[in-house]
Structure 1
Amino acid sequence: MLRVKYENLNYVIVIIERAKIMNNLKVSQAQLKYLLYIKDSKKFQTITSLSRYFNCSKSNSKKIVDRLIAIGLIYKFKNDIIFTQIGERFIDEFVSCRDRLIIVLSSGMSLDHEKAKKIADTILINKIEELNLKFLETYEKLEIFKDSIEKTFSYKILEDKLGEGEYNVNLVILKKDEVDNSSIVTSTAMECCSSTAKLIIAKSSTINIKVKPVVKTLNDIVEKGFLRSINYEVDNKNYNNIISESKCILPLNILNNWFYSGSGILQAAVIVEMLVNVNFYKNHIEKVVMLFTLDLFKI
């Protein structure tokens, strides 16, 4: 599972205390809206200004304000409404959660800041807990890789950041053009492999790929193709991986250059030679690029 590292025990205690505050205080949706507006406006508010903003009567605004005073989140100094120490901590935690949701919504759904903010407010104010937790889990994943944006890093760093577990990755196999050294079109070898592979982070980390036979009919002749081996290079040494009929297991160290785009997408590629056996007597060798994609929003 993904590792969330804390600097020290004090930080954990602070998080726990904040959670207690959020959970123990019974604040209605209307009261949350008032607190959030007071915080976001960055200036003192009065019952008159609140009733004007929320388009309601002063008596209605006064009831909401009086309730917030009663539970100790705000107080009045003359006509100005001011956060108490507990109220400040409460709304700061709320805003902190919202800011994390905004990052996830902006990155994962390509929303502009204002739209993401509006959706984040809706999730938190309406206390949609399952959705909130899901987004916050995604935020933690993004945070783990934030220092690697637009950078390449080794498989060892990937192991350390992800932690032990199984992760789905997408696989695309491209032909390798030896003339201009660039990937061009999807390889026929792709038909022998599933487009979804498993990244296994363990003591000896691997990429597990499901292998399947390819059946084609040409001029009424049925041909079957099987992926038999993959040749690859690690640290200037050549290796030949013999494939079973259902699974290909490759060591993770063949993918030593991972790149994080900053939008939740990690990618790594490797050039290999694939040997496909056709009808048990013809061998087809093809140099290809195996491109693996790990989507942090889907793990």
Structure 2
Amino acid sequence: MFDISLTNNQKQYLLYLLESDREESLPTISTAFNCSKVNSKKIIDRMVKIGLVYKERNIIYLSDLGRAIAEENRLERDEMAVVLQAGLGIEEKSARELANSMLMEESSSMRARLLSMARYFVQVDNRQGTSLSSDEMAKILGPGVSRIYFVVFQEENHPDDVFVPLSMALRGLYRDVEVTISPDDDQHLITFRVKPIEEAYKGNQYSCKPKLLVYKDEGRETIIPIGDTVSIPFHLIKTWYYTGGGILQAALELCAIPDINIDHRHYAKFVFTINLFNLA
């Protein structure tokens, strides 16, 4: 990021010169911007003075500084366009034009917000309908902690009733989890928070919380105790699917065993959802 204050006109001129496929002079630039030669000359002369452009035989060229700033602005514009197109479904040309106008805005709050999202969206650009590995997802999320959400589907298949109420143990998990991506190794984790559940049954009041969490990895079953939280390896989710619009989903079968019935053991399908808009 260059510590130099530019006017909107100067930003526009820099981008125009960077992306032009011809030699540009004062008349061609003023025509391109529908601006008088007098006004264009004032803008260009100021840019020459601060070292953004230079002239040779009436042709205007970007200096090294001007090119570097223009390329930085173009990168920001293109990244914002990716968020607008891939995340909000705005048509490519319109997304680019809108991103270009945001680049010129004096207020930087919207620009900063879009650019913070862009670090995620550029990594899934053109990946709609495809799958991503756990390693790719770890790279997209980046080191640190991200909060994502999940829902739990039926514990087992019943031919007569496909909507099976969840066990008390499964209802004892908050529906948001933390994904921790380690910067040094592949010991990435998914951490669940636990809550007690109370329920009336046949006139009696029962209180329950998950006691053990069970998962399978490469066919081998692992049982881990549950405290206030419980963590499992992130790599257990082998495949994530990008459905578009910034939404990624994955499924994993887990079993939560309650403290009042250690033999009650049914696997359920946990479906995790990552909304890239909520990560920024």
Matched, 1:73 2:52: yes
Decide which moves more: 45-54 or 112-121.
Answer: 45-54
Sort the Cα spacing of 1:287 and 1:137 in 2 relative to 1 into closer, same or farther, 3 A: same
1:32 matched residue in structure 2: 11
**Residue of 160, 175, 188 corresponding to 2:166:** 188
Using the TM superposition, give the Cα deviation of residue 169 of structure 1 relative to its aligned residue in structure 2, in angstroms.
Answer: 1.9
- Contact 1:234–1:253 (Cα < 8 Å) also in 2: no
Matched, 1:83 2:65: no
Sort the Cα spacing of 1:82 and 1:210 in 2 relative to 1 into closer, same or farther, 3 A: same
Sort the Cα spacing of 1:65 and 1:201 in 2 relative to 1 into closer, same or farther, 3 A: closer
- Contact 2:146–2:180 (Cα < 8 Å) also in 1: yes
Residues in 1 aligned to 2:71 and 2:189: alpha-carbon distance in whole angstroms:
42
Aligned pairs (5 A) from 1:1-299: 19=1, 22-24=2-4, 26-40=5-19, 42-48=21-27, 50-52=29-31, 54-76=33-55, 81-126=60-105, 128-129=107-108, 131-143=110-122, 150-153=130-133, 155=134, 158-159=137-138, 162=141, 164-178=143-157, 188-189=166-167, 191-202=171-182, 204-217=187-200, 222-244=205-227, 246-261=228-243, 264-276=246-258, 280=260, 285-299=265-279
Indicate the structure with greater helix content: 1
Sort the Cα spacing of 1:148 and 1:50 in 2 relative to 1 into closer, same or farther, 3 A: closer
Gaps of 5+ in 2: none
1:11 matched residue in structure 2: none
How far does the alpha carbon of each residue in 1:50-107 deviate from its partner, in whole angstroms, 9 at most, with x for none? 4455454432222112222333333456665443454334323321221122123322
Sort the Cα spacing of 1:270 and 1:281 in 2 relative to 1 into closer, same or farther, 3 A: closer
What is the aligned-residue RMSD (CA, Å)? 3.8
Using the TM superposition, give the Cα deviation of residue 230 of structure 1 relative to its aligned residue in structure 2, in angstroms.
Answer: 2.9
Using the TM superposition, give the Cα deviation of residue 170 of structure 1 relative to its aligned residue in structure 2, in angstroms.
Answer: 1.1
Decide which moves more: 65-74 or 53-62.
Answer: 53-62
How far does the alpha carbon of each residue in 1:161-191 deviate from its partner, in whole angstroms, 9 at most, with x for none? 65543221211111155369xxx65852453
Sort the Cα spacing of 1:220 and 1:115 in 2 relative to 1 into closer, same or farther, 3 A: farther
Residues in 2 aligned to 1:236 and 1:281: alpha-carbon distance in whole angstroms:
25
How far does the alpha carbon of each residue in 1:200-259 deviate from its partner, in whole angstroms, 9 at most, with x for none? 334643321112223345687644443333332222222233333x32332334323344
Residues in 2 aligned to 1:217 and 1:292: alpha-carbon distance in whole angstroms:
30
What is the identity percentage for the equivalent residue pairs of Structure 1 and Structure 2?
23
How far does the alpha carbon of each residue in 1:27-68 deviate from its partner, in whole angstroms, 9 at most, with x for none? 312222233344455445554554455454432222112222
Q: Which amino acid aligns with 2:198?
A: V
Residues in 2 aligned to 1:236 and 1:282: alpha-carbon distance in whole angstroms:
22
- Contact 1:172–1:186 (Cα < 8 Å) also in 2: no
In the superposition, the TM-score normalised over structure 2's length comes to: 0.74
Q: Which amino acid aligns with 2:250?
A: A
Decide which moves more: 255-264 or 169-178.
Answer: 255-264
Decide which moves more: 206-215 or 35-44.
Answer: 35-44
In the superposition, the TM-score normalised over structure 1's length comes to: 0.70
Q: Which amino acid aligns with 2:82?
A: I
Residues in 2 aligned to 1:157 and 1:58: alpha-carbon distance in whole angstroms:
52
Aligned residues: 271
